Amino acid sequence: MKTTLILLVFLVGTSTLQSFGQANDSLYYLSEPPPETLEQERPLRRYSPFIAGLANYLLFSSGYFYVGEPVRGAIVLGSGFLSIGVFMYGVTRAMSVDITTGESPRDARVWMAAGALATGLIKVWSIYDVIRIARMKNAANEQNRLSLKLSPEIITIAPNSNPGYGLKLSIKF
């Protein structure tokens, strides 16, 4: 039981620590837009904290996918399944009755309580966390529109000439 609880705390703690410094990482785009849209301003994505929290409440860990945090969503989903599994283990232990005494094992209630408590705590914490992430990403998008991007580029001057290799620096503000 101690190993399960330690593993559960590790998974939840790891996903919480991944959020530090995330406000700046969400501003960079992974793919280069087409050349004709380089001069146009990109629309910034706004996340509704209400929709993120509601999605997380209705379908476990779906709010994380809404706000663009699939890794954290997968970790929370896995820890939720683990805690539900602990609860179900307690239920199956409670249903296995000793033939001679007619009682279920004493630790069955402990497993059920630990699983139910862990599931509830993960559910409440994940709703709070996804709302916090949505607010943090919205604030970062409003305050920080500066981006610096360095990308490799191949330049050809004429159709039959040798290509030139270089780096392209893009600054947006």
The pLDDT tens digits for 88-119 are: 999 998 888 877 887 888 888 899 999 999 99
Q: What's the token pair of residue 156?
A: 């050809």
Q: Would residue 151 count as lying in a domain?
A: no
The pLDDT tens digits for 49-69 are: 999 999 999 988 899 999 988
Q: Would residue 22 count as lying in a domain?
A: yes
How far are the Cα atoms of 152, 155, 168 from residue 161, in angstroms, in the given order?
Answer: 19, 10, 20
Of the listed ranges 7-11, 89-93, 123-127, 160-164, the least confidently predicted one is 7-11
CA-nearest of 19, 54, 38 to 140 is: 19
Question: What mean pLDDT is reported for the chain?
Answer: 77
Q: Would residue 169 count as lying in a domain?
A: no
Q: Residue 77 pLDDT more than 80?
A: yes
Please tell me the total count of domains within the chain: 1
Q: Is 161 helix (H, G, I), strand (E, B) or coil?
A: coil
Q: Name the residue range of residue 58's domain.
A: 2-144
Q: Residue 126 pLDDT more than 90?
A: yes
Contacts of 83 (CB under 8 A, 6+ apart): 8, 115, 118, 119, 122
